[in-house]
Structure 1
Amino acid sequence: MIALSSSPASRFSSVDPTPTVRLSSSYEAQRPLSRVAIVASDPDSFVDDFAYIATVPTGVFCDNGTQYVSPVVFSSGSDSEMWFVEDWAQYLETDGGISQGMVVGDIPQPLLVDLQDTLGTRLYPRITGSTAAEIAAKLAVSEWASSGTAVVALASDTFTQPSTESGSATHTLSGRESSTESFSGSASFGAPTSNNFTPPSWAVWMHGQFNWSGSEIMTHELINPSGEVVDYSVYTQMYFSRNPAYVSSPVPMQFWLPVTEYGVWTMNVTTDQTHTTALDCKVTYHPGYRHTIDVPADSKSLDIELRWDNVATDLNLALIDPNGRMVMWAPAGSILSNPGLESISLPYPMPGEWTAIAGWMDATTETNNIELSWDISRFPENLGSYLESAANGAVLASLLNAPLLYASASDVPAVTEWALERLGVSNVVLVDPADIHQTSLLTELSGLASLLTIDTYSSLSGNITEISKSPDVVVSVPVGTGDEFMAPAAYSAAVHGSPIFSLCGDDNVMTTRAQETWAPYLIGPEINNIYIVNKYENRAENGWYDERIPNKFSMMESVDSFEGFLSSRGAYNATAPQPVVVVAPVTLIPTSFDRSLQSHFQSGRIPAETADLASVLINRGLLHRYIYLTAQSADTALVSLYAYTDGATFIDNNYNYYTLTQIENSTDALESAGFDIEYHVGLDAVVSSIQSQVALWTLSTHGTLTLLPRDPPDRPNGPGFFSMRTVDAKWGFEISESERESSGDSDKLVNPVAYQSELQYHTTVSTDEFEANLGDIGSPIVIVTACLLGGSELPLMMMRHGAVAVTASPRTVYFQPAGMLSVLLAQHLCDGLTTGEALSQGLSLISSDYSNPLDDRNPRDYANQQILFGDPSVKLYDPSVDVHVPAVNPLHTSFGAHTPGLGVNPVAALGISDYLPQSLQAIGAQFDYYQDTNFSEFVSLLSLRTVTIVEPGAVSVYVSNLTAHSDEVRTFVESGGVLAVIGVDDDMAWLPWPVDYASSGGGSSVTITDSQHPLLTNPNTLNSTMDYDGHFAQVWSNLTILATDGSHPVFAAGSAGCGKVAVTTINPTGGVRDPFIENLISWSEVPSIRLRSISLSQQIIWAGDQLVITLELTDMVGNPIEAASVSVLLNSSAVATTDLGDGFYAITLDGQWTGVNVGDFDLLVHASLAGYDTLTLHLENVFTVRPFPWVMLGVLGGGVAVAFGGYLYLKRRSGSRILRNDSSKMTKRERERQEKKDTKVDPKEYFGV
């Protein structure tokens, strides 16, 4: 029994055994499973999201203290997906390959064929359903033979989309110009000196300048009337701003922000001198307009636009939340950036009264008509609560090794009740932490089993962490369109053994605080080409606003809010660091939120823009321990240091001293950890090395978002540009490789572009240009030490190509602290720390720790805002130490009552007597027997069967039922099932493929026409002595005739899609029955021959042309069929074939043949090979030979390739054409075959033939 309490300390008890799942635990407690689950992705539906979540407990589950893991992939056919599943298949080759592949949902047949070829295994069963509850129920009965416990979560297939709320307001600004108030202030030693001022009631924006004469360095904090610090400066930045070596004249302390509230504002000034210094204080006030907007609960976005008609003026826009905090703004400093228009798109605003502020900078007495307009979109009601219920249900089900089923908030679907009864569930755990279910649901569930309800967040967290012992947390956000990130995030949470929460919980308060951290990033850097320019006089990044990017007080408010968010859910651990996985695009939750959590929280971002890509990135990261071994250069690190620190002294936050030699410090650690080192800074060499699939790439260079300044900056999705060399060298240098740093500057910084001799070799590379040369790069960890690239497309691009972790900063970084961080990252990773631990420890040593800020001093650096893109549990592995972990074959291993893919007996027998039960029992088959009394269950479980056999004489009894379910029969076979109809005795029109039965004739002996066919030889050899009644007047042209009555077919079989169908009028009796039935069952394991592609040497064929037709034959998983017996008919004419090897066969039609044979030609292929099913395939209108024209207008040369996937390759009953272009990528297996072919010597090449 499972005991549960509703208190925050509630726990599951008496769960035996209790799994241990911790990121910090050794991988001895985790084992890979040799299986894969592919879930169809539909970004416009919610069914696929809940289907994916229901699949998670089949790919991640705990049994006897071990966590078993295998991929669960949201499939769209992307390159990223194919590279990942190819790597997974390659890892498992040592263990015999993938033993089990499952498909959930409707995936296009061509994509399935490509996936099967890539994985090298058959993807079956294919579990489909019209509702998420149906899919979950089928998954449960497919995976579990029985289960005493089931987890039930809430799910809905559709949600009502609320209408968008819109509004507008107009206002005329006239007669009020900006004005400056000057007053005297002071600064005294010992404590901050307060200098007060009160903005006038008409002011909406202000710019303060506090200056002084003298050499002392001062800093400030600006405090609003509510007592909150909203602006500040730091000592190091003010030092440079006042230093004549860096500025033409000293720069005052400044602030620039909207007037968020009226009253007395205080400028607290601190000086480093012991005397009192007079301050020259100026505050310029700008007029404008304020308007309140009521934002309802569950808002998805607030989109506001400001327009004005005096377009040669500069207006700015800001949004103030109901608590009076400035959350977002449009602070463009140039009227040319967007004349007459500013806009803000704010995701996930908190409810309440917001204030929009439109401020006219440097206003005149002219007239300016302005208009504010806004749209507020909302989530469907309770969407986030449903997703949280399902996702956490998946985590709990994984920990308990129990199935996940679905209910609505009010009742239990019939299909869920059916699954509960079939599995024999006695204990149901209802997961609904938001407590949105109704009493009627509890009543129904209580009537089905003993019910335990988790209806609070603290109870949910307590139960999960008690079992997993993991402090980890996963957070995401709902989207509301059906492309939901909470679905793949559930897989992450299951592996981490952690609760998963929507950051939109608590009415978007947490998301609002997260958005606030990004506002300063809308003030961009000053750049000259790719290089950052120090302009302390300007309001810019790298200018006097630099240290506010991000605002440390907003960052601390964010992490404090997150601690409260977790505490209210019973998930905050104050005594230990907490890894946090953030699954959301950077456009929805800014990466500055992740950085705000450092360093108590070890955050890692999954930045995918779609749910299907998120699933790939999550799977790749969490399975990195295994698939990293498939990389070609897993024992090699690439060091690309173009601009870097070389020999400088560095002091960290704890006053530890270092001599920072970035190259040697990094490579010494890597070499000590057993890695070979490659040094490259030339673009082509770097690309080549990355393509060799190195384990780690550390890059130190110049970077920027765009080549020219943009206002506002293109952040977070700037294209990204960085510096490299056109000619390769081991590293960047100012003089030579041996004299890296010039004695002329002695700044201990290597900056090649500052030297004309090196500038000529400099090149600027964009992310797009870099990506154009990349393919599958393995699974590297990437350390980026460059300005701004963390706010560009580079990190996500690298992850799409395989990188499991990328660290990069979205803002400007500075040489020494950034270089020190890159060294610490490399050293920590080599010491065995996770990427999350490595970054957190590095940041806490040399930069801002917002969760535990320094009390008595500023941190050494504020600009290291590096973000970890990727799962924080990723490690750097050494192939000589972290060796192959044998995978567990789920088909041969017991996990209690969890029998992956074998919850339903593989054979279904449909009959009218004990004929099939007696035979199946005699041969030891696992089967279920069905008659008309339980025909509905026969249909409901059909898609989960491997083989379905219809008893002799049963067709006439079930013809009406079979006709009604003809579509289900087609789906079963084409998905990969085997259908055998024996002793046919009635009309076969219900069969999706044309077979006409005739009752005339009969006998006790047949004529065998394909004596080598596996149905007649494996494992039993059948002779011709078999009773039959009737024959087939016609059979589908893609079936192979195995036996006749002398003139008419009585036994035919062949492939249909990915499955097989056999029909016969033979009625096996006596000693023939059991061997015959055993052959039918064994047939499911026999490989089939498939025509994978056909190519023509030219598109347009004239009489007298030579034509070469090339056939590619493979099995269903892409292995080439070599040395087969292949015969081909073109219409009725037999033509010769030539075996080219490696599964390719050629038909050469010379000019004489095409000269006398014109018109349209069908192609009939017959291919056989011992141990394989015979291929019989009829293709219509494959090519046309045209009569040679008297006037030839033009001939188009070149070849055309036509590929065939599953049933699309077969002649349809309707007679439609089946040719299609093959756009699939070359798989690793195909590349290996091509490389093998390329090594063969072709004598023609030597003789110029």
Structure 2
Amino acid sequence: MIVALMMIVAPFLSAAGSGGAVTTQDSLDPNGFLGLSERSTVPVSRATLVAFDGEDLMDDLAYLACVPASTFYSEEDGVTVTSPLMFYQPTMDSPSDAETALDAGVGIEYLMQDYVTASGSRLSSVTTVDVPRSEAEGMAARWNADQLVMIKGGEAAGTAARIATANWEVARTAVVAVVDPSVSPMDDVVTGNVSGTVPAVGTVGGEFSGSIEPSFHSESSHNFDVGDQYKFVQAVLEWSTPGPFPGLTQRGKELGMHLYQGEIMVALSTEWNAFSGPLDTAQSFVYTPGPWRAAVVFIPTMGFNAPGYDGPSYASRVFEAAQYTITYDLFGGVDMPIPDVPAAGARNARFTLTWEGGRELGLLIRGPSGQEIASAIGGASPGRHELEVAELGNGMYTASVINLDGQAVEADFELEYEWTETMSELEVEGLVGATEAAVLASELNAPLLYATPDGVPGATIGAMDTLGTTDVHLVDLTGNYDRIIKEMGSFRGAGQPGIAITTHRDLDVLISEIADLGQRGREGRQDVVITTLNPWDYWHTNSNAENPQGERWGGRFFGPAAYAAANHGTPVLVTEADPRLSCSNAYHNVYWLRAYAGRSPAPVGAMYLTGQQVVDAIASYGLDGEGMESLLTVAGQFEIGTAWDRALVGATTPGRIGGTPVDASVWISRCNTYPLVIFANPGVDQSIDPHDGKRIVGSRSTRTLGTLRTVEPETEVQMDNPVAFTWACYLYKFNERASEYWGASYQAADGTIPNESPSDHPWDGGTLPDICEDVFEDYSRQAGYGEAESAGYDATVENLN
């Protein structure tokens, strides 16, 4: 293996006099470790940092050019060679509490402290791109780098050429991506209108009554049919409990209602009786007519620690069956397709519905898969509804106009719409192509260079001549390949080797080719990496802040996503390149803007429909193999809304790396090298622990007659193999207490009952543990870990770091 690595690394990644490239001496372990993609991964003792600039795209394109220089696959040895690749920003001098989430430079220092330790307290080299000299020299000194390679930034083609010649002495194969680095934000307003008539369909409905006892796993269902003429359903659940004092006897009880279209839940009530009383409402667009079902569940709430909730006689008196009544109504309406199709990244959409005649109409805006994006049901000014939608995807949208007043009389209406398109087709095609090209270059162990729609820059020609390039993979999704091929064909004169060009012009084919290359060295596993071209919306940690605070147009996540994909051996799916992904992305962004502060639950039907769109897109690219794929989303919470991840649970194993673009690059670098840097953990190696094995254990307190009293102060405790615990929940012996208090025990979906079902694990003593926070402590203690319990923010962060 060592000899083979010398053959790989030295000829293809040795520097032309600059000393910035990987050499065999850089390898930390020639045998490597099993990496993210289940390929063998060989880490090297170097790091690359690209200065982050939130105002333009030059840093993003430079980062892409660094991907194959930092991570590449050796086909001869079946290993991935990798090292950290990060956007760089210095640590903030004195950030406010609200700005702590923006101080990404701290993460760089934390990672590099670990990486340098794991590299034997030195690095072979540090490479920087567009980082000021004093800051680059400071990093090289702090990290004990033998060499510092500083690469000048600037326009994309020149920077990529300098990165290539600093990292390859010879490169017979190169990847050239066609991208226009001069793209800028667009501000094109699209307007239009449509007219229509709501059909003469009156409201019909029905009613069900029943009773239900407290249960964590059973329900009471009632079926009804929805005809083709109906577009909207609303169900209201009213309930009561026995006894003369309902305000008292209903405390701690919670009935809920679910609406099903066939076997798929499309809506649920979210009211809590402590605030709304014994009344629940669920509404849904009629996605498919036919059999529907309303189900009632009786799930106890967790408020049993209040005074007066402890006596068994009280429990036996209040937790009897609840009586309920469901009233449902079906409303007619009409679907009106929006004739204009938004481009990816359309923002600030407005839909205005107007009508006459004193009628009551409702408005739903729905996406291509039918998902409800925004609605106005009731509460409008007479004859008018106006809906604002923050973002639309690249797909066909529909306005559904609903007859809410029950009259079987037609009603005429007009719908006006407008939105602003912010991304040009050239921007999307160029950046998507460059992102895929970076991963392709990594798989081919080749440098990434750039051409523009106007031709091949001199810097790119010069780099290919310097490197002796004879084979070019041209990635061009912009449609300018003929001109570029002709231009490349004229580069070399008589007696010089020509250039053979392989073109990649179809995104679907390119994704498939990268996926096939990524299967080398492993057995059939398929990972998926998804990102977006949406600019970064930055936010503050203050819970009262109106987030996001603003946009950094040049802050993008496609660079770190390409770096992650190169280590996973998979292409990148960019949402703007596929209408299914684009529209699902837009939905989750719109929802998350409404929900992030209060974490209100997402509409179930829309979650299912958008999640299915994503899964369908993955399958269409051939990335949906047997079992669940590991899906990594690389984007901030406002670039791909957080609920996106939850929509994909079950069909995939989803994960997310977000924060700022700098954060994302740091966390991906840590994940890529995790099997190495974990052993730089002072928790397992006290020789590198500045606290000599001591960790903070929080204070212990008790409450007597409403007064909080500290009985043990916060202190430092010596411990081996510490695990940080911080309690944010209050579940304690849940089923033991629930069975006495509610007369019901929680049962998991697999039929097991905590605290009752048998367990064959010796640590459990024959019975599954209860749902109880201190179970984690029991397990960690029996495994030989120390428990660093803390609840305060500062102590918890200190223990973790």
Aligned to 2:105: 82
Distance 1:286 1:87 in 2: 59
Distance 1:114 1:132 in 2: 26
Contact 1:579 1:602 survives alignment (8 Å): yes
- Secondary structure of 1:374's aligned partner: strand
Aligned to 1:671: 781
Per the alignment, do residues 286 and 190 of structure 1 end up closer, same or farther by CA in structure 2, a change over 3 Å counting?
A: closer
Distance 1:335 1:123 in 2: 68
Question: Following TM superposition, by how much is the alpha carbon of 1:51 offset from its aligned partner in structure 2, in angstroms?
Answer: 1.0
Per the alignment, do residues 190 and 167 of structure 1 end up closer, same or farther by CA in structure 2, a change over 3 Å counting?
A: closer
Per the alignment, do residues 70 and 673 of structure 1 end up closer, same or farther by CA in structure 2, a change over 3 Å counting?
A: farther
Question: Following TM superposition, by how much is the alpha carbon of 1:260 offset from its aligned partner in structure 2, in angstroms?
Answer: 7.5
What are the within-5 Å matches in structure 2 for residues 897-912 of structure 1?
A: none
What are the within-5 Å matches in structure 2 for residues 574-973 of structure 1?
A: 575-608=626-659, 610-630=660-680, 632-633=682-683, 635-641=721-727, 643-646=730-733, 648=735, 650-656=746-752, 657=757, 658-681=768-791, 683=792, 687-693=794-800, 778=801
Per the alignment, do residues 647 and 435 of structure 1 end up closer, same or farther by CA in structure 2, a change over 3 Å counting?
A: same
Aligned to 1:461: 515
Distance 1:677 1:36 in 2: 34
Question: Following TM superposition, by how much is the alpha carbon of 1:474 offset from its aligned partner in structure 2, in angstroms?
Answer: 1.1
**Which of 328, 335, 344 is the matching residue for 1:299?**
344
Aligned to 1:68: 81
**Which of 166, 169, 181 is the matching residue for 1:145?**
169
**Which of 155, 171, 182 is the matching residue for 1:158?**
182
Distance 2:421 2:237 in 1: 43
Matched, 1:48 2:59: yes
Distance 2:196 2:501 in 1: 64
Contact 2:173 2:471 survives alignment (8 Å): yes
Question: Following TM superposition, by how much is the alpha carbon of 1:89 offset from its aligned partner in structure 2, in angstroms?
Answer: 4.1
Distance 2:655 2:49 in 1: 25
- Secondary structure of 1:141's aligned partner: helix
**Deviations 1:378-430 (CA, angstroms, capped at 9, x unpaired):** 42223333223222222232233322222235643332222222212233233
Aligned to 2:125: 100
Distance 2:796 2:350 in 1: 47
**Which of 471, 481, 496 is the matching residue for 1:438?**
481
Question: Following TM superposition, by how much is the alpha carbon of 1:587 offset from its aligned partner in structure 2, in angstroms?
Answer: 1.8
Distance 1:278 1:579 in 2: 43
Aligned to 2:373: 328
Number of residues paired by the alignment?
Answer: 619
Larger Rg: 1
Question: Following TM superposition, by how much is the alpha carbon of 1:584 offset from its aligned partner in structure 2, in angstroms?
Answer: 1.6
Per the alignment, do residues 519 and 138 of structure 1 end up closer, same or farther by CA in structure 2, a change over 3 Å counting?
A: closer
Aligned to 2:452: 408
Per the alignment, do residues 184 and 500 of structure 1 end up closer, same or farther by CA in structure 2, a change over 3 Å counting?
A: closer
Question: Following TM superposition, by how much is the alpha carbon of 1:476 offset from its aligned partner in structure 2, in angstroms?
Answer: 0.5
- Secondary structure of 1:298's aligned partner: coil
Per the alignment, do residues 96 and 305 of structure 1 end up closer, same or farther by CA in structure 2, a change over 3 Å counting?
A: same
- Secondary structure of 2:769's aligned partner: strand
Matched, 1:567 2:619: yes
What are the within-5 Å matches in structure 2 for residues 84-233 of structure 1?
A: 84-91=107-114, 92-93=116-117, 95-105=120-130, 107-108=131-132, 111-112=135-136, 115-116=139-140, 118-119=142-143, 121=145, 124-159=148-183, 161-167=185-191, 181-183=204-206, 193-196=223-226, 207-209=234-236, 221=259, 223=261, 231-232=266-267
Distance 2:324 2:732 in 1: 40
Per the alignment, do residues 49 and 515 of structure 1 end up closer, same or farther by CA in structure 2, a change over 3 Å counting?
A: closer
Distance 1:25 1:616 in 2: 18
Per the alignment, do residues 651 and 519 of structure 1 end up closer, same or farther by CA in structure 2, a change over 3 Å counting?
A: farther
Distance 1:182 1:394 in 2: 58
2:722 partner amino acid: T
- Secondary structure of 2:128's aligned partner: strand
Contact 1:210 1:280 survives alignment (8 Å): yes
Larger RCO, structure (CA 8 Å, separation 6 or more): 2
Aligned to 1:423: 467
Question: Following TM superposition, by how much is the alpha carbon of 1:612 offset from its aligned partner in structure 2, in angstroms?
Answer: 3.0
Question: Following TM superposition, by how much is the alpha carbon of 1:256 offset from its aligned partner in structure 2, in angstroms?
Answer: 1.9
Question: Following TM superposition, by how much is the alpha carbon of 1:301 offset from its aligned partner in structure 2, in angstroms?
Answer: 2.1
Question: Following TM superposition, by how much is the alpha carbon of 1:46 offset from its aligned partner in structure 2, in angstroms?
Answer: 2.2
Distance 1:576 1:111 in 2: 47
**Which of 571, 576, 580 is the matching residue for 1:509?**
580
Distance 1:607 1:121 in 2: 29
Contact 2:38 2:522 survives alignment (8 Å): no
Question: Following TM superposition, by how much is the alpha carbon of 1:555 offset from its aligned partner in structure 2, in angstroms?
Answer: 3.6
Per the alignment, do residues 362 and 441 of structure 1 end up closer, same or farther by CA in structure 2, a change over 3 Å counting?
A: same
Per the alignment, do residues 121 and 356 of structure 1 end up closer, same or farther by CA in structure 2, a change over 3 Å counting?
A: farther
Per the alignment, do residues 206 and 195 of structure 1 end up closer, same or farther by CA in structure 2, a change over 3 Å counting?
A: closer
Question: Following TM superposition, by how much is the alpha carbon of 1:597 offset from its aligned partner in structure 2, in angstroms?
Answer: 1.8
What are the within-5 Å matches in structure 2 for residues 508-527 of structure 1?
A: 508-516=579-587
Distance 1:139 1:133 in 2: 10
Per the alignment, do residues 161 and 360 of structure 1 end up closer, same or farther by CA in structure 2, a change over 3 Å counting?
A: farther
Question: Following TM superposition, by how much is the alpha carbon of 1:82 offset from its aligned partner in structure 2, in angstroms?
Answer: 3.2
**Deviations 1:749-775 (CA, angstroms, capped at 9, x unpaired):** xxxxxxxxxxxxxxxxxxxxxxxxxxx
**Deviations 1:29-49 (CA, angstroms, capped at 9, x unpaired):** 334322222212222322221
**Deviations 1:119-139 (CA, angstroms, capped at 9, x unpaired):** 455884322254312211111
Contact 2:196 2:336 survives alignment (8 Å): no
Contact 2:78 2:520 survives alignment (8 Å): no
Contact 2:512 2:621 survives alignment (8 Å): yes
Distance 2:361 2:140 in 1: 58
Unpaired runs of 5+ residues, structure 2, are 1-11, 13-29, 93-102, 211-218, 243-254, 298-322, 408-412, 491-497, 536-552, 685-720, 736-744, 758-767
Question: Following TM superposition, by how much is the alpha carbon of 1:580 offset from its aligned partner in structure 2, in angstroms?
Answer: 1.4
- Secondary structure of 2:773's aligned partner: helix
Aligned to 2:530: 475
Question: Following TM superposition, by how much is the alpha carbon of 1:691 offset from its aligned partner in structure 2, in angstroms?
Answer: 1.0
Question: Following TM superposition, by how much is the alpha carbon of 1:333 offset from its aligned partner in structure 2, in angstroms?
Answer: 9.2
Question: Following TM superposition, by how much is the alpha carbon of 1:581 offset from its aligned partner in structure 2, in angstroms?
Answer: 1.3
Per the alignment, do residues 446 and 462 of structure 1 end up closer, same or farther by CA in structure 2, a change over 3 Å counting?
A: farther
2:120 partner amino acid: D
Question: Following TM superposition, by how much is the alpha carbon of 1:443 offset from its aligned partner in structure 2, in angstroms?
Answer: 4.2
Per the alignment, do residues 588 and 408 of structure 1 end up closer, same or farther by CA in structure 2, a change over 3 Å counting?
A: same
Distance 1:554 1:230 in 2: 10
Aligned to 2:421: 377
- Secondary structure of 2:650's aligned partner: coil
Distance 1:526 1:586 in 2: 12
Question: Following TM superposition, by how much is the alpha carbon of 1:562 offset from its aligned partner in structure 2, in angstroms?
Answer: 2.6
Per the alignment, do residues 40 and 167 of structure 1 end up closer, same or farther by CA in structure 2, a change over 3 Å counting?
A: same
Per the normalisation by structure 1, the TM-score is: 0.43
Unpaired runs of 5+ residues, structure 1, are 1-14, 364-368, 533-540, 694-777, 779-1249
Per the alignment, do residues 305 and 117 of structure 1 end up closer, same or farther by CA in structure 2, a change over 3 Å counting?
A: farther
Question: Following TM superposition, by how much is the alpha carbon of 1:52 offset from its aligned partner in structure 2, in angstroms?
Answer: 0.8
2:652 partner amino acid: F
Aligned to 1:495: 567
- Secondary structure of 2:788's aligned partner: strand
Per the alignment, do residues 666 and 210 of structure 1 end up closer, same or farther by CA in structure 2, a change over 3 Å counting?
A: closer
Distance 1:619 1:484 in 2: 17
Contact 1:153 1:430 survives alignment (8 Å): yes
RMSD across aligned C-alpha pairs, in angstroms?
Answer: 5.2
Per the normalisation by structure 2, the TM-score is: 0.64
